[in-house]
């Protein structure tokens, strides 16, 4: 028989993920420069709801990269930070290129 308390871990996980997403959105908008806030914040807000748990961890690591390195991604053939972050780096590179083309 199903008990109410059986669903609590699921609800707790949802709340934790929602809290993590809010923190990541905040971090993406408080980078230190207006340009980085706009570009990185816009990117994070665009993709965050489609990310799974592993990608959220990857995004968290990506946000640890200094602004100058993140902002240089579209101009470099090989990003400086690759291990474990290539998927989101590729997405960020594409997003930045689209912004430059506008």
Total structural domains within the chain: 1
| Interior angle at CA 73, CA 50 and CA 25, nearest 5 | 35
Q: Residues 6 or more apart from 62 whose CB is under 8 A from it?
A: 70, 81, 85, 88, 89, 92
pLDDT the model gives residue 77: 58
Distance CA 19, CA 45 (A): 14
CATH of the domain at 57: 1.10.150.250
Q: What is the pLDDT of residues 23-82, one digit of tens each?
A: 999 999 998 889 889 999 999 999 999 998 888 988 998 899 888 888 877 666 555 555
By residue range, what is the domain housing residue 79? 4-101
pLDDT the model gives residue 11: 55
């Amino acid at each position: 028989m199903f008990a109410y308390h059986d669903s609590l871990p699921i609800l707790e996980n949802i709340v934790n993920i929602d809290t993590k997403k809010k923190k990541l959105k905040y971090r993406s908008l408080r980078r230190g420069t207006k340009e980085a806030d706009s570009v990185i914040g816009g990117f994070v807000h665009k993709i965050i709801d489609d990310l799974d748990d592993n990608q959220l961890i990857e995004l968290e690591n990506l946000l640890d990269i200094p602004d100058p390195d993140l902002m240089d991604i579209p101009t470099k053939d090989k990003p400086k930070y690759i291990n474990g972050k290539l998927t989101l780096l590729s997405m960020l590179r594409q997003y930045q290129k689209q912004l430059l083309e506008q």
